[in-house]
Structure 1
Amino acid sequence: MQCRYTFGGDEHLFVEIDESMSLPAFFKSMAMTSRLQAMALPGLKEICPANASFQVRFDPDVIHPEVLLRQLQEIEEEVGKSASNELQTRIIEIPVFYDDPWTNETQLRFRERHQDPSSTDLAYAARINGYDSVAAFINAHASSPWFVSMVGFVAGLPFMYQMVERERQIQVPKYLRPRTDTPKLTVGHGGCFGCIYSVRGAGGYQMFGVTPAPIFDHAQRQPYLKDFMCFFRPGDIVKFKPINLPEYEEAVRLADEGQLSLRIRPVSFSMAAFEEDPAAYNRSLIEVLYGD
């Protein structure tokens, strides 16, 4: 895949990796933006990664647009030639209370906006993805890791892409019309992307459950939020862990006291090794997470 470069006004350069989202496109975007950031070019103001693209903001009085363009084209060539590109990132366990009472109550208030008003979001997602039960669908959702491909829409909200072969990826349409309410920390899914709603508000993704772990907090009360008020960053790998109501309530209690901890481990991700055997590579990632 070859990038397409487009200038946006005087201060922005948009780089489209591919027209459709894929793990190789995402990985190429991360490799390019990581190298660009490490160069610390004078005049470079901001790098904003997305699912299969990224945008760069720069000061044209400091770095000429054509100079920046040539630099990015050189980075693209280097990334394409390298057979050992690896992403230094982290793998994170996120507890999820699936089929919870709060998203279920919210669903009932907005069924007329859903494709199947007689079904729950989980039952609908299980059926159209070929699973014979909600339990089997939840297992599929939680058993494989997910990449955080971008963060946005509202502060701290991660868009996540399932790390399985394309034919095995969970896909569900968004609501026919968006809801005007979604519980805070809802784990949702729309199209091929999962997400966690960082705050309460409108939304159109199917709702599968809730996590007790705050992912956006300007007061930065949790140990894992000490570095920044938004927890997730592009390139993070997420492993969901199903929990029950007592476990959820205990985690909420710890979060309210500012004492909730998450299992987080550093990991080196290799796109080549993943493509060679996705299932085996995912097992190795999970072993890193639970290895001690």
Structure 2
Amino acid sequence: MSRTDTAELALPPARYEYGGDEFVFVEMDQAMSLEANIKAMTITAALRERGLDGVIDICPSNASYMIRVDPDVLHPAELVKELRALERSATALTSDRVLPTRVVDVPVLYDDPWTRETLMRFRDRHQDPGATDLEYAARINGYAGVPQLIDALSGAPYFVTMLGFVPGLPFCYQMVPRERQIEVPKYVRPRTDTPERAFGFGGAFSVVYPVRGAGGYQLFGIAPAPVLDVAQRLPDFQDGIVFPRAGDIFRYRSIDRNEFDRIRSEVEDGTFRYRIREYEFRPAEFLGDPDAVTSDLLEVLYG
């Protein structure tokens, strides 16, 4: 795609709602998609650049965003006028529209013993009690087996669309055409236990659980490095206790047990650092040729 090309975000008009006197909620689309998230990211990034007095907080989400505003400084109705103008400008993305981001290598031990032990304790809450989560996901997504599914899971990077539902949890959407998206349902009933740093999948979204607790996503593996460091022991957490940022691009790289144990040792002694590369993400180029852009992303990360 040349720098003069554009990509049209063919989405319905956004829905604007007020939340009391201090909040404006904007829904880009009822369906979750990379296009909806990219449009929300583009609008919220432009809003940050404007630095409007009265805007207190900007919170992008999967297919929406929310703004907290000081109504004594900026009336919410005036803010909505600004947001509508930004929506119109974000509908046609030119190739020179850039979202500065980070590309990050996130190692994952797929089919690990800890999540396997956990998921086997809760087979009565699963759609297929006779299979592991990976075996079930491979079958319903048309893969020949678990190794082929893991290749697909780790083969293309993921866009961090939002953070929640607990601090530090990154919701991620894989950067492949929709027909190649991996999708799985949540458990029929949630588990009461999930290991810390478990790599899970629900719908078309992947997550890394920051802490041990309940959960309903299919369990595919575990990350050796944290996404939440309350004590801020590790260098990557010096600016905050949460590592992921909305708009980051993660590559969930498949590792073996030896590398997992080595990284865990680095985490324990406080020396671990994520492999991070700064990147100028051009949404129009990605939407025009996703495979070419993801190939470039991996080259930037590992080249």
AA partner of residue 269 (structure 1): F
Structure 2 residue runs without a partner (length 5+): 1-10
Question: How far, CA to CA, are the matches of 1:234 and 1:252 in structure 2?
Answer: 25
Q: Is the 8 A contact 1:79 1:85 kept in 2?
A: no
Compute the TM-score of the two structures, normalised by the length of structure 1. Answer: 0.98
By how many angstroms is 1:136 displaced? 0.4
Q: Name 2:4's counterpart in structure 1.
A: none
Q: Name 2:120's counterpart in structure 1.
A: 108
From 215, 222, 241, give the equivalent of 1:229: 241
Question: How far, CA to CA, are the matches of 1:36 and 1:272 in structure 2?
Answer: 19
Q: Name 1:29's counterpart in structure 2.
A: 40
Question: How far, CA to CA, are the matches of 2:85 and 2:19 in structure 1?
Answer: 20
From 125, 142, 153, give the equivalent of 1:130: 142
By how many angstroms is 1:81 displaced? 4.5
The reply on whether 1:120 has 2:132 as its aligned counterpart is yes
The reply on whether 1:269 has 2:285 as its aligned counterpart is no
Q: Is the 8 A contact 2:28 2:64 kept in 1?
A: yes
Q: Is the 8 A contact 2:100 2:278 kept in 1?
A: yes
In structure 2, do the counterparts of structure 1 residues 82 and 239 end up closer, same or farther at CA, with 3 Å as the change threshold? closer
Q: Name 2:155's counterpart in structure 1.
A: 143
Q: Name 1:218's counterpart in structure 2.
A: 230
Cα deviation digits, residues 216-258 of structure 1 (max 9, x gap): 0111111111111100011000111111111111111110111
Report the secondary structure of 1:249's partner residue.
helix
Question: How far, CA to CA, are the matches of 1:143 and 1:268 in structure 2?
Answer: 21
The reply on whether 1:3 has 2:19 as its aligned counterpart is no
The reply on whether 1:282 has 2:282 as its aligned counterpart is no
Question: How far, CA to CA, are the matches of 1:139 and 1:275 in structure 2?
Answer: 23
Question: How far, CA to CA, are the matches of 2:107 and 2:219 in structure 1?
Answer: 15
Matches within 5 A, 1:132-281: 132-281=144-293
How many residue pairs match? The answer is 291
Which region of structure 1 is more displaced relative to structure 2, 271-280 or 93-102? 271-280
Question: How far, CA to CA, are the matches of 1:249 and 1:80 in structure 2?
Answer: 46
By how many angstroms is 1:79 displaced? 2.1
Report the secondary structure of 1:264's partner residue.
strand
Cα deviation digits, residues 87-144 of structure 1 (max 9, x gap): 1101000000110000010011101000001100011001100000100000000000
Matches within 5 A, 1:59-78: 59-78=70-89
Question: How far, CA to CA, are the matches of 1:80 and 1:192 in structure 2?
Answer: 24
Cα deviation digits, residues 176-224 of structure 1 (max 9, x gap): 0000000000000001111000100000000000001111011111111
Percent identity between matched residues is: 51
RMSD, matched Cα: 1.0
Q: Is the 8 A contact 2:93 2:284 kept in 1?
A: no
Report the secondary structure of 1:135's partner residue.
helix
Question: How far, CA to CA, are the matches of 2:97 and 2:31 in structure 1?
Answer: 21
Which region of structure 1 is more displaced relative to structure 2, 74-83 or 107-116? 74-83
Q: Is the 8 A contact 1:92 1:264 kept in 2?
A: yes
By how many angstroms is 1:282 displaced? 0.8
In structure 2, do the counterparts of structure 1 residues 12 and 26 end up closer, same or farther at CA, with 3 Å as the change threshold? same
Report the secondary structure of 1:184's partner residue.
coil
AA partner of residue 263 (structure 1): R
Report the secondary structure of 2:215's partner residue.
coil
Question: How far, CA to CA, are the matches of 1:237 and 1:189 in structure 2?
Answer: 17
Question: How far, CA to CA, are the matches of 1:167 and 1:19 in structure 2?
Answer: 19
AA partner of residue 153 (structure 2): H
AA partner of residue 192 (structure 2): T
Report the secondary structure of 2:207's partner residue.
strand
Cα deviation digits, residues 56-87 of structure 1 (max 9, x gap): 01111111111111111111122235513221
AA partner of residue 67 (structure 2): V
Compute the TM-score of the two structures, normalised by the length of structure 2. Answer: 0.94
Structure 1 residue runs without a partner (length 5+): none
Cα deviation digits, residues 127-167 of structure 1 (max 9, x gap): 10000010000000000010000001011000000111111
